[in-house]
Amino acid sequence: MQDRTNHALWAGPLLALFGFLSYYTIFYQWPALRDIPWLNLLLLIASVAICWKGFSQAKQHGGWRRIAGGAGLTLSTALTALLTYYCFSLSYGLPNATTAIQVGDYVPEITLQSHLGADTLLSGSERTLLVFYRGHW
Amino acid sequence: MSELQGLQSRISDFEAQGIQLIAISPDSVEQNRQVAEWLDLDFPILSDSMLTATDAFRLRHADAAPGGGDLPRPATYIIESGRIVWRDLTDNWRVRPRPDQLLAAIAQLES
Sign of the torsion angle spanned by Cα atoms A16, A21, A26, A28:
positive
CB-CB neighbors (< 8 A) of A104 in chain B? 83-84
What are A87-134's pLDDT values in tens digits? 999 988 888 888 899 999 999 999 999 999 999 999 888 999 999 998
**Is the predicted pLDDT of residue B1 greater than 90, yes or no?**
no
Please, which residues 2-61 of chain B have a Cβ atom closer than 8 Å to chain A?
A: 2-7, 14, 17-27, 29, 31-33, 35-36, 44-48, 52-54, 56-61
Backbone angles phi, psi at A111, to 5 degrees: -115, 125
Chain segment A28-49, per-residue pLDDT in tens: 888 889 999 999 999 999 999 9
**Mean pLDDT on A75-89:** 96
pLDDT score at A2: 46
Pick the residue from chain B with its C-alpha nearest to A111. B53
Lowest mean pLDDT among A2-16, A70-84, A116-130, B42-56: A2-16
For A133, which of B18, B25, B66 is closest by C-beta distance? B25
**Helical ranges in A1-137 per DSSP H:** 8-25, 31-34, 38-61, 63-88
Residue A25 touches partner B, C-beta closer than 8 Å: no
- Chains A, B: CB contacts under 8 A, how many? 199
Contact (CB, 8 A) for B92 and A134: no
Concatenated DSSP letters of B29-95: HHHHHHHHHHHT-SS-EEE-TT-HHHHHTT-EETT-STTS--EEPPEEEEEETTEEEEEE--SSTT-
Q: Establish if B88 touches chain A: CB-CB under 8 angstroms.
A: no
Q: Which of A9-13, A27-31, A53-57, B56-60 shows the lowest per-residue confidence on average (mean pLDDT)?
A: A27-31
A82, A24 Cβ separation under 8 angstroms? no
Nearest CA distance, B34 vs chain A (angstrom): 8
Residues 6+ apart with CB under 8 A from B36: A115, A116, B44, B45
The pLDDT, as a whole number, for residue A4 is: 65
Q: Would you say how long chain A is, in residues?
A: 137
Over 80: is that where the pLDDT of B108 sits? yes
Give the count of alpha carbons within 13 A of A37, CB side only: 28
Mean pLDDT, residues B88-105 taken together? 92
Tell me the shortest Cα–Cα distance from A54 to chain B, in angstroms. Answer: 34
ipTM for this prediction? 0.94
The torsion angles phi and psi of B74, rounded to 5 degrees, stand at -60, 135
Where in chain A are the domains? 8-92
Q: How many whole angstroms from its chain centre is CA B35?
A: 14
Q: How confident is the model at residue A137 (pLDDT cuts 50, 70, 90)?
A: low
Domain ranges of chain B: 2-110
Identify the pLDDT of residue B51: 96
The class (CATH top level) of B2-110 is alpha beta
Q: Nearest CB to B84: which of A94, A101, A134?
A: A101
User: What is the arithmetic mean of pLDDT over A47-75?
Assistant: 93
The rounded distance, in Å, linking the Cα atoms of A18 and B72 is: 31
Render pLDDT for B13-63 as a digit per residue (tens, 0 to 9): 999 999 999 999 999 999 999 999 999 999 999 999 999 999 999 999 988
Surface-to-core class of residue A38, CB atoms within 10 Å of its CB (0-12 exposed, 13-18 middle, 19+ buried) = exposed
pLDDT > 80? residue A1: no
- What phi, psi does A110 have (nearest 5°)? -130, 135
